[in-house]
């Protein structure tokens, strides 16, 4: 029971998060969770969904939040590449699928509470995997991340290029496939851009739906 309460509190907190224009994170849909499509399982057994492999979604791209919500409705979330093996595994699928880029769950902390001392400066210490609430290594520690050394203005990532050029802040993390002749690496990108996406099974969402729907086979 205690575990269920903790999962419920976490879920409510996440779905209450506010995004521009009043948008929010979606809660999981039990029916969609039960019928979720798994295209491939990683060596650790976790299931993944690749948007470009779904015949009904070919050519469909979503912004960062819509991609997350598609995944979350199915007890998944946008992929968090927390280890080097997982990062390389996902990058291989991007290349094999001939995708130019994908969204991950990575995001810069840019909301209430991000003024914490340990997150300063946020462009270095404020990146995290939102699906797992896991902080990334500082962007200056290059051997513990996969930020590209190049980009649209020739600077190492993250560079917040769009804001520098008069556009939106680049607060979301995408993996780009040699887009700037720089290999397959992480880039900071403005969250409103649309891209293909990868969903990863989310243990917290699966547990929440299982506890809430004990007779549902998931």
- Integer Rg of the chain from CA: 17
**Which of 51, 40, 47, 163 has its CA nearest to residue 108?**
163
pLDDT tens digits for range 9-23: 444 444 445 576 789
Predicted structure pTM score = 0.91
Question: Residue 76 has what pLDDT?
Answer: 99
Q: What local confidence, expressed as pLDDT, does residue 136 receive?
A: 98
- Is there a domain that residue 29 lies in? no
Residue 8 in any domain: the answer is no
> Do the domain assignments include residue 131?
yes
Number of domains in the chain: 1
- Pick left, alpha or beta for residue 113 (phi over 0 → left; psi -120 to 50 → alpha; otherwise beta): left
* Structural domain that includes position 123: 37-201
CATH of residue 91's domain is: 3.10.100.10
Instruction: Determine, yes or no, domain membership for 12.
Output: no
Contact 69, 75 (CB under 8 A): no
pLDDT score recorded for residue 155: 97
Which residue, chain included where needed, has tokens 């549902």?
Answer: 216
Domain assignment present for 125: yes
Give the rounded distance of the alpha carbon of 108 from its chain centre: 11
Is residue 7 one of the residues assigned to a domain?
no
- Model confidence over 79-125: pLDDT tens digits? 999 999 999 999 999 999 999 999 999 999 998 899 999 999 999 99
Cα–Cα nearest to 66, from 20, 10, 4, 114: 20
What confidence score (pLDDT) does residue 217 get?
A: 92
Q: Is residue 218 part of a domain?
A: no
Tell me the backbone φ, ψ of residue 118, rounded to 5 degrees.
-70, -10
Name residues of the chain where pLDDT drops below 50: 1-16
Residue 111 has a pLDDT of 87
């Amino acid at each position: 029971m205690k575990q269920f309460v903790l999962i419920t509190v976490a879920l409510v907190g996440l779905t209450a998060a506010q995004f521009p224009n009043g948008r929010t994170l979606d809660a999981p849909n039990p029916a969609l969770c039960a019928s979720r499509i798994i295209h491939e399982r990683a060596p650790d057994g976790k299931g993944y969904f690749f948007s470009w492999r779904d015949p009904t979604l070919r050519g469909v791209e979503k912004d960062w939040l819509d991609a997350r919500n598609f995944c979350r409705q199915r007890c998944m979330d946008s992929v968090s590449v927390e280890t080097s093996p997982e990062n390389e595994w996902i990058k291989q699928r991007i290349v094999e699928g001939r995708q130019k880029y994908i969204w991950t769950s990575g995001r810069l902390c840019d909301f209430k509470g991000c003024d914490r001392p340990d997150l300063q400066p946020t462009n270095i210490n404020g990146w995290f995997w939102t699906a797992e609430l896991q902080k990334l290594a500082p962007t200056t520690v290059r051997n513990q991340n996969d930020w590209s050394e190049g980009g649209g203005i020739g600077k190492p990532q993250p560079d917040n290029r769009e804001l520098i050029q008069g556009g939106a802040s680049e607060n979301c993390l995408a993996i780009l496939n040699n887009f700037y002749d720089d290999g397959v690496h992480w880039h900071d990108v403005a969250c409103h851009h649309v891209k293909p996406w990868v969903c990863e099974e989310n243990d917290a969402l699966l547990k929440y739906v299982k506890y809430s729907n004990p007779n549902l086979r998931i």
